[in-house]
Structure 1
Amino acid sequence: MTEPREDSPSGLAAFEDSLDYVTVTVGGQLLGLPIGRVQDVFIATRITPVPLAPYEIVGLINLRGRVVTAICMRRRMRHADSGAMPSGTKEHELTAVGLDQGGEAFALIVDAVGEVMRLSRATFEPVPIHLDSAWAAIAKGVHRLDDRLLVVIDVDAVLNIELPIAA
């Protein structure tokens, strides 16, 4: 956590020097989604498959009357057991994080949603060169925490899925 500066009685400067993330876990890895991009967190109970959709897109969700494209983060990150949906979920209940981009609604299917973290901008580091290439393609950088690494996700890169070319 960032402490407020002495020259700022309201602590506004501390907010300017910090980055806020909604944390999620995928395959045991802690990820951070910039809080400004997250619309909501919900349990997806019914996903309608889409024939011939890219591998990462697991289907569509009806969320309060809005059609939402569901993307499995395990598949998107090319996780070793990416053929399976997130573990620890009931058969038809999946944890999802809602995002909007360009007026379209998306849901990232994750293993679990954690807490909101406020971290200092000073601890933000570029993507390590040894990070798996599939992960590096969707990461903005990292924060080294006491006991683990928080990989900051580039939401635009995650949602940029190559669609098959129609014949």
Structure 2
Amino acid sequence: MSDKNALVPGSDRSTALDLGGSTKDFVTATIGKQMFGIPVLTVQDVLGPQRITRIPLAPPEVAGSLNLRGRIVTAIDVRKRLGLRNKEVEDPGMSIVVDQGGELYSLMVDQVGEVLSVPQNAFERNPATLDPRWREFSDGIFRLEKNLLVILDVTRLLDFAGSVKQAG
């Protein structure tokens, strides 16, 4: 998933594309054909397919829970959270584990890419043409050479979880 406008630490492209500003690092994930970025400092782990236990009466976006080295992790189906259709092909996908308020969440995505460093001055607010549901969970975008990198706001993406805990 290389992209020539992305600055990857240690790559030959880093110096050629340094626009003189600081950079931001994101773990990239693909859902459908769209690339999303999650701030690297929020990421705890990247997982392959996991056995997920369903949770009765949980919202549809909550796929269930899994055990990660003795800790219970809530698995969130990001595809459903973003209002996308279910995958047509039965592919177990991957997960990006994030820490939110001391709780671990597994964000289920189709594929995890690489860590991209992008120039901070290339950041743009959400365009009006971005899907309204995505805008709700996005901090903004970076226009890369071949892709649009939509930056996910993990706090807003997981906001419904707080109300689920209070209700339960």
**Pair in the same fold by TM > 0.5:** yes
8 Å contact kept, 1:86–1:111: no
Distance 1:140 1:134 in 2: 12
Q: How many Å apart are 1:133 and its aligned residue? A: 1.1
- The alignment of Structure 1 onto Structure 2 pairs a total of residues equal to 152
Q: Which structure has more helix as a fraction of its residues?
A: 2
Read off the aligned partner of 1:68 and give its amino acid letter: V
TM-score (norm 1): 0.83
Q: How many Å apart are 1:163 and its aligned residue? A: 2.9
Distance 2:107 2:89 in 1: 15
Equivalent residue for 2:94? 95
| Equivalent residue in structure 2 for 1:34, among 35, 39, 44 | 39
1:109 equivalenced with 2:114 (yes/no): no
Is the partner of 1:122 in helix, strand or coil? helix
Read off the aligned partner of 1:163 and give its amino acid letter: V
Equivalent residue for 2:76? 71
8 Å contact kept, 1:45–1:94: no
Q: How many Å apart are 1:44 and its aligned residue? A: 3.5
Superposed, which structure 2 residues align to 1:47-62 within 5 Å?
47-62=52-67
Equivalent residue for 1:163? 164
Distance 1:41 1:61 in 2: 14
Distance 1:115 1:61 in 2: 24
Root mean square deviation of aligned Cα: 2.3
Structure 2 segments unaligned to the other structure (5+ residues): 1-6, 8-13
Distance 1:37 1:164 in 2: 21
TM-score (norm 2): 0.82
Distance 2:165 2:70 in 1: 27
Distance 1:20 1:166 in 2: 35
Structure 1 segments unaligned to the other structure (5+ residues): 5-10
Q: How many Å apart are 1:86 and its aligned residue? A: 8.0
Distance 1:106 1:85 in 2: 21
8 Å contact kept, 1:22–1:35: yes
Read off the aligned partner of 1:42 and give its amino acid letter: L
Task: Give the 4+ runs in structure 1 shifted more than 4 A.
Answer: 85-88, 164-167
Read off the aligned partner of 1:51 and give its amino acid letter: P
